[in-house]
């Protein structure tokens, strides 16, 4: 294939056109590891609440790379030197930063490969690709691991103002139709600056930070922690957990080969990763969905009940409050459910969900977001935007949920 053919363009409903900057990037996108992301939904089960939210990790990764191209252009325009190797490292690192995600992204993170984060898996893939592409990913890996001497490169990949957040907030807001969550990634990027290799926001951007953090908070309450989506995701985990227990009892279960393998066993520490990675690489959302559809007819009452609830979207009723539910409340609801639904005590925990969720818009530890003042000094954002003292941002907001079958 000629070089020119590889200078491909992707359509994006959000940004218009995303241009592939060079042939290595093109080849990485063509690679099966990356193509696999086409089948991994960005937002887990949020589409059960927001029917437009079917976008994938594939598209998100391209979007991040697009924003990174903007950021490089802006920073160079302001006189920040970024050489071509660093530029390429930024594109590769952001393109691949989420390549380690598995089915349903965060929803099932830690389920198949517990104790191993998606970032750690991303790194494994990147190392494998580095071998395949003759070491051309080395600088990207160094940036991704925060091993590069110029820290802002890492901060563009991973920080409170990284290209990841700037894309996912915008993209998730767009596809859900929750327009209040939209952020002006253009303006935020236009206000980035670098001093002493540290990523900064210009002083005139302090209100943009307010809005950015509030949009994030809004998306958490309204979307990511939406009570229905929340319960659907926990229900999904219980279905898979039940499947695991059934397999332990040597009761047969339909599923794709790789999914069965991962349900039967799982990596507990990083060293085992190589054993499980091929199966993990092979599965995506489709394996899970088609298995659960099948399990609706399984002989195990728990498994079939939970599977039906998910597939037919007959979800538990959820209460979400600012205060924890008392033990008595939970016991009372369990008792009632046992009686009305005829579920025995040993299994009641499959049908009652309780727990808490937390929403932390701004993390001041690790320095927070740094502002470049007009006078040239650097200060943490909240110590500049002193009027904006809301603990709604700086402290985690916690909510408690209790869910139980409909009709209770």
Identity of the residue, 153 or 213, whose beta carbon is nearer to a copy of itself in the bound complex? 213
Question: Using the rule CB under 8 A, is 17 a contact of a copy of itself?
Answer: yes
Which residue is listed with tokens 């969905």?
289
The window from 125-133, 146-154, 168-176, 341-349 that contacts a copy of itself (CB under 8 A) reads: 168-176
Contacts of 387 (CB under 8 A, 6+ apart): none
Contacts of 253 (CB under 8 A, 6+ apart): 243, 246, 247, 260, 263, 291, 295, 298
Burial label, 250 (beta-carbon count in 10 A; 0-12, 13-18, 19+)? exposed
Is-contact 403 331, C-beta < 8 A? no
Is-contact 223 178, C-beta < 8 A? yes
Question: Using the rule CB under 8 A, is 145 a contact of a copy of itself?
Answer: no
Give the span between the Cα atoms of 194 and 159, in whole angstroms: 14
Give the span between the Cα atoms of 127 and 130, in whole angstroms: 5
Interacting positions 171-200 with a copy of itself (CB under 8 A): 174-180, 182-184, 186-187, 190
* Given 158, 241, 290, 338, the residue binding a copy of itself (CB under 8 A): 290
Question: Using the rule CB under 8 A, is 167 a contact of a copy of itself?
Answer: no
* Given 13, 114, 147, 367, the residue binding a copy of itself (CB under 8 A): 13
The window from 43-51, 88-96, 148-156, 323-331 that contacts a copy of itself (CB under 8 A) reads: 43-51
x/- track of binding to a copy of itself for residues 294-323 (CB under 8 A) = x----------------xxx--------x-
Task: Calculate helix-pair angle for 163-176, 206-219, nearest 10 degrees.
Answer: 50
Identity of the residue, 195 or 270, whose beta carbon is nearer to a copy of itself in the bound complex? 195
Identity of the residue, 289 or 400, whose beta carbon is nearer to a copy of itself in the bound complex? 289
CA dihedral 235, 227, 398, 180 (to 10 degrees): 130
Give the span between the Cα atoms of 221 and 223, in whole angstroms: 6
Is-contact 243 303, C-beta < 8 A? yes
Closest approach of a copy of itself to the CB of residue 215, in Å: 7
Identity of the residue, 272 or 395, whose beta carbon is nearer to a copy of itself in the bound complex? 395
Interacting positions 326-355 with a copy of itself (CB under 8 A): none
The CA-CA-CA angle for residues 314, 317, 323, to 5°, reads: 155
Question: Using the rule CB under 8 A, is 2 a contact of a copy of itself?
Answer: no
Closest approach of a copy of itself to the CB of residue 346, in Å: 29
Question: Using the rule CB under 8 A, is 24 a contact of a copy of itself?
Answer: no
Interacting positions 198-227 with a copy of itself (CB under 8 A): 207-208, 210-211, 214-215, 217-218, 221-222
Closest approach of a copy of itself to the CB of residue 184, in Å: 5
- Is the CA virtual torsion 244, 249, 253, 257 positive or negative? positive
Question: Using the rule CB under 8 A, is 397 a contact of a copy of itself?
Answer: yes
Closest approach of a copy of itself to the CB of residue 31, in Å: 9
Q: How many CA atoms lie within 13 A of 70 on its CB side?
A: 21
Strand, helix or coil for residue 315: coil
Identity of the residue, 20 or 90, whose beta carbon is nearer to a copy of itself in the bound complex? 20
Bridge-based pairing of strands 198-202 and 317-321 is unpaired
x/- track of binding to a copy of itself for residues 61-80 (CB under 8 A) = -x--------------xx--
Closest approach of a copy of itself to the CB of residue 350, in Å: 21
Closest approach of a copy of itself to the CB of residue 70, in Å: 10
In DSSP notation, 146-183 reads T-SSSHHHHHHHSSTT-HHHHHHHHHHHHHHT-GGG--
User: Which of these, 260, 221, 198, lies nearest to 399 by C-alpha position?
Assistant: 221
The window from 121-129, 157-165, 249-257, 336-344 that contacts a copy of itself (CB under 8 A) reads: 249-257
Identity of the residue, 7 or 268, whose beta carbon is nearer to a copy of itself in the bound complex? 7
The window from 30-38, 108-116, 150-158, 244-252 that contacts a copy of itself (CB under 8 A) reads: 30-38
The window from 81-89, 150-158, 335-343, 387-395 that contacts a copy of itself (CB under 8 A) reads: 387-395
Is-contact 218 180, C-beta < 8 A? yes
């Amino acid at each position: 294939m000629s070089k020119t053919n590889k200078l491909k363009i992707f359509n994006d409903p959000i940004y218009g056109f995303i241009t592939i900057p060079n042939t290595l990037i093109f080849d990485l996108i063509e690679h099966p590891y990356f193509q696999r992301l086409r089948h991994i939904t960005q937002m887990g089960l949020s589409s059960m609440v927001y029917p437009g939210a079917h976008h994938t990790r594939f598209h998100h990764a391209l979007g991040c790379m697009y924003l990174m191209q903007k950021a490089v252009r802006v920073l160079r325009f302001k006189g920040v030197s970024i050489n071509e190797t660093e530029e390429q490292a930024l594109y590769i690192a952001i393109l691949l930063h989420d390549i380690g995600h598995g089915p349903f992204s965060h929803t099932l993170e830690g389920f198949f490969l517990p104790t191993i984060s998606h970032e750690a898996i991303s790194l494994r893939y990147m190392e494998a690709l580095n071998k395949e592409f003759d070491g051309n990913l080395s600088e990207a890996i160094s940036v991704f691991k925060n091993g590069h001497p110029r820290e802002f490169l890492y901060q563009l990949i991973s920080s409170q103002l990284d290209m990841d957040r700037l894309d996912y907030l915008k993209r998730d807001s767009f596809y859900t139709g929750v327009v209040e969550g939209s952020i002006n990634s253009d303006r935020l990027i236009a206000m980035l600056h670098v001093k002493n290799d540290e990523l900064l926001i210009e002083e005139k951007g302090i209100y943009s930070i307010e809005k950015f953090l509030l949009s994030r908070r809004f998306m958490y309450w309204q979307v990511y922690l939406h009570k229905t989506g929340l319960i659907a995701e926990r229900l999904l985990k219980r279905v898979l957990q039940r499947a695991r227990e059934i397999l332990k009892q040597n009761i047969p279960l339909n599923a794709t080969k790789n999914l069965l393998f991962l349900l039967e066993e799982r990596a507990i520490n990083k060293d085992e990763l190589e054993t499980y990675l091929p199966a993990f690489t092979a599965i995506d959302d489709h394996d899970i969905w088609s298995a659960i559809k099948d399990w609706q007819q399984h002989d195990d009452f728990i498994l079939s009940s939970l599977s039906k609830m998910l597939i037919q979207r007959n979800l538990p009723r959820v209460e979400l409050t600012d205060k924890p539910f008392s033990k008595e409340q939970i016991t009372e609801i369990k008792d009632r459910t046992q009686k009305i639904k005829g579920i025995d005590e040993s299994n009641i925990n499959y049908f009652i969900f309780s727990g808490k969720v937390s929403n932390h818009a701004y993390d001041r530890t690790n320095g927070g977001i740094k502002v470049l003042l007009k006078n040239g000094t650097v200060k943490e954002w909240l110590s500049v935007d002193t009027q904006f003292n809301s603990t709604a941002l700086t402290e985690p907001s916690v909510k408690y949920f209790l869910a139980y079958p409909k009709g209770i």
